[in-house]
Amino acid sequence: METMSQETNEEVVLTEEGRKKLECELERLKTVKRKEVAERLKNAISYGDLMENSEYDDAKNEQARLEQRIETIENLLARARIIDRRHVKTKLVDVGSLVEIKQVGSGRKQTYRIVGPAEANPDERMISYLSPAGKALMGHKVGDIVEVNAPAGKVRYRIISISR
CATH (domain of 71)? 1.10.287.180
Contact yes or no for 144/162 (Cβ under 8 A): no
Q: What is the per-residue pLDDT for 8? A: 60
- Distance set, CA 153 to CA 18, 53, 116, 132, 137 (Å): 31, 51, 24, 12, 17
Identify the domain containing residue 131 by its residue range. Answer: 85-163
> Are 38 and 93 found together in one domain?
no
Cβ of 62: how many Cβ atoms within 10 Å? 15
Are the C-beta atoms of 94 and 135 separated by less than 8 Å?
no
Residue 6 lies in a domain: no
CB count in 10 Å sphere of residue 103: 14
pLDDT at 6: 41
> Of how many residues is the chain composed?
164
Does residue 50 sit within a domain? yes
Number of domains in the chain: 2
pTM, to two decimals: 0.74
Model pLDDT, residue 78: 95
Looking at residue 1, what is its pLDDT?
A: 45
> CA angle at residue 78 from 75 to 83, to 5 degrees?
115
Per-residue model confidence as pLDDT tens for the chain (164 residues):
444 444 467 889 998 889 999 999 999 999 999 999 999 999 888 877 767 778 888 999 999 999 999 999 999 999 999 988 788 888 999 999 999 999 998 878 999 999 999 899 999 999 999 999 999 999 999 999 999 988 888 999 999 999 98
Looking at the fold, whether 76 and 99 belong to one and the same domain comes out as no
> How confident is the model at residue 3, as a pLDDT?
44
* Residue 161: per-residue pLDDT: 96
Residue 106 CB burial class (10 angstroms; 0-12, 13-18, ≥19): exposed
Which of 48, 83, 118 is the last residue before a domain boundary?
83
